[in-house]
């Protein structure tokens, strides 16, 4: 019987990484992972995984723990799109530098394939939506710039040294285990945490920004396959539904209906560099892998409500310092309004 390859997952204590680890462990794979716990919960880590509480920027340590891992999934990211405008050093260090550290370690250890989880932020503002993979990336905030820069490093180093690469673009993932006490990201989780505390959600701008939201299991099913599918090598692949394109106001309304909450949102000034309309086409994933999301938005939000209720609401933790504070900085952060 052919021995199953060992899988390495960065960000294994995070939302995406922990679910991905569960999927591989369930199929009998040995899983190794690391997490700095900036954006995850320790109890997300599967007990069967070999876990290291390491920062990816500790390069020598990363080389050691990725040894003998044939498939590398890079899920770890300080995925703070709005915050990156005001804490660009922190975000860039933990996007670009950390990615290069892991890519380098993977190549040095002769890994077969590197699956990089990028972001819809790579696209920026385009002439049309939904975004397709053949569009020229035009990121407009430091987070998106960092993600696309990391993609360029990955392609360059893999093509030079002979490691297979896949770039996936999961977007606006929702579901159980997502961090919900973070005031800087995860809009649906923030709203649920607030409303369960009988507090009104805070919405930036007029709330007419439009997004699609992707339930976690619909992402995991295809990410699992990308570890092995021959047709995935050397491809950029959007992952997520493209047919429930909703405004932030509609998102808040849906959560309020589920909770039976009397909605009266607090509106704050728009955040700089926020993309107004962001939606990724899933046509390529459909064509190559028969991708078909099973969980609709309302059902996904309901599962999040149940999960947060079970764990209990939490106060928001302002765990990342603002590097730039001026008139553009949201006072939701400077005055800790969450």
Residues 202 and 58 in one domain: no
SS3 at position 274: coil
How much is the pLDDT for 120? 95
Q: Name the pLDDT band for 3 (thresholds 50, 70, 90).
A: confident
Q: Is residue 284 part of a domain?
A: no
The pLDDT value recorded for residue 224 is 95
Residue 165, token pair as written in the block: 């690469």
pLDDT single digits (tens) 241-266 = 888 999 999 999 999 999 999 999 99
Shared domain check, 149 and 43: yes
Reported as a single tens digit per residue, the pLDDT across 26-49 is 999 999 999 999 989 999 999 999
Examine residue 182 and state whether it is found in any structural domain, yes or no.
Answer: no
Q: Which residue has the tokens 């059902």?
A: 299
Which whole number is the average pLDDT over 258-282? 95
Same structural domain for residues 42 and 78? yes
Q: Where are the alpha helices (DSSP H) in the chain?
A: 15-26, 59-65, 88-92, 98-108, 142-161, 187-196, 216-226, 248-259, 283-289, 297-311, 331-334
Same domain, 219 and 265: no
User: Which residue has 């900085």 as its token pair?
Assistant: 329
Task: Report residue 83 as tokens.
Answer: 């915050």
* Residues 124 and 275: beta-carbon distance below 8 Å: yes
287: in domain: no
The reported pTM is 0.96
Does one domain contain both 63 and 91?
Answer: yes
User: Domain for residue 67, yes or no?
Assistant: yes
- Dmax of the chain from CA atoms? 63
Sheet of 113-117, strand order:
50-52, 31-34, 6-10, 69-74, 113-117, 164-170, 236-239
Q: In which domain, by residue range, is 61 found?
A: 6-174+214-239
Q: Are residues 89 and 202 in the same domain?
A: no
Kindly state whether residues 125 and 204 are assigned to the same domain. no
pLDDT of residue 1: 56
* Helices and strands per DSSP (H, E), number in the chain: 11, 14
60 and 191 fall within a common domain: no
Query: Three-state DSSP class for 313?
Result: coil
What CATH number has the domain bearing residue 26?
Answer: 3.40.50.720
Read off the CATH number of the domain in which 251 is found.
3.90.25.10
Q: Specify if 286 maps to a domain.
A: no
- Which residues, 6+ apart, have CB-to-CB distance to 190 below 8 Å? 180, 182, 183, 201, 202, 316, 338
Examine residue 31 and state whether it is found in any structural domain, yes or no. yes
Q: Are residues 129 and 251 in the same domain?
A: no
Same domain, 233 and 316: no
- Same domain for 133 and 202, yes or no, is no
Residue 89 and residue 218 in one domain: yes
Is 77 part of a structural domain of the chain?
Answer: yes
Report yes or no on 21 lying in a domain.
yes
**What are the tens digits of pLDDT across the range 56-72?**
999 999 999 999 999 99
| CA 242/CA 246 separation, integer angstroms | 10
Number of domains in the chain: 2
Among residues of the chain, what percentage have pLDDT more than 70?
99
């Amino acid at each position: 019987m052919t021995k199953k390859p060992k899988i390495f997952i960065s960000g294994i204590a995070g939302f995406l990484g922990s679910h991905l680890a569960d999927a591989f462990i369930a199929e009998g794979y040995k899983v190794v992972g690391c997490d700095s716990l900036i954006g995850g919960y320790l109890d997300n880590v599967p007990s069967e995984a070999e876990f290291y509480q390491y920062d990816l920027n500790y390069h020598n340590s990363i080389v050691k723990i990725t040894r003998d891992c044939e498939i590398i999934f890079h899920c770890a990211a300080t995925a703070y799109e709005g915050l990156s405008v005001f804490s660009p050093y922190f975000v860039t260090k933990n996007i670009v530098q950390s990615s290069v550290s892991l890519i380098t370690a993977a190549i040095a250890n002769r890994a077969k394939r590197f699956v990089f989880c990028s972001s819809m932020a790579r696209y920026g503002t385009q002439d049309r939506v939904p975004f397709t993979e053949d569009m020229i990336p035009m990121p407009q905030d430091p987070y998106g710039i960092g993600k696309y820069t990391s993609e360029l490093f990955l392609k360059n180093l893999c093509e030079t040294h002979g490691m297979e690469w896949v770039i996936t673009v999961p977007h606006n993932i929702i579901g159980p285990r997502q961090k919900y006490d973070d005031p800087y990201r995860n809009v649906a989780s923030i709203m649920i945490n607030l409303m369960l505390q009988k507090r009104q959600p805070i919405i930036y701008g007029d709330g007419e920004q439009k997004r699609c939201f992707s339930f976690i299991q619909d992402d995991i099913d295809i990410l699992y396959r990308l570890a092995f599918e021959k047709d995935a090598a050397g491809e950029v692949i959007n992952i997520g539904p493209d047919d429930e394109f909703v405004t932030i106001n509609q998102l808040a309304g849906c959560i309020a209906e589920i909770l039976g909450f009397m909605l009266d949102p607090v509106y704050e000034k728009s955040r700089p560099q926020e993309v107004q309309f962001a939606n990724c086409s899933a046509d390529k994933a459909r064509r190559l892998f028969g991708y078909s999301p099973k969980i609709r938005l309302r059902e996904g939000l309901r599962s999040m409500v149940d999960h947060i209720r079970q764990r209990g609401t939490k106060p928001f933790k302002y765990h990342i310092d603002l590097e730039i504070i001026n008139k553009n900085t949201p006072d939701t952060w400077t005055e800790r309004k969450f």
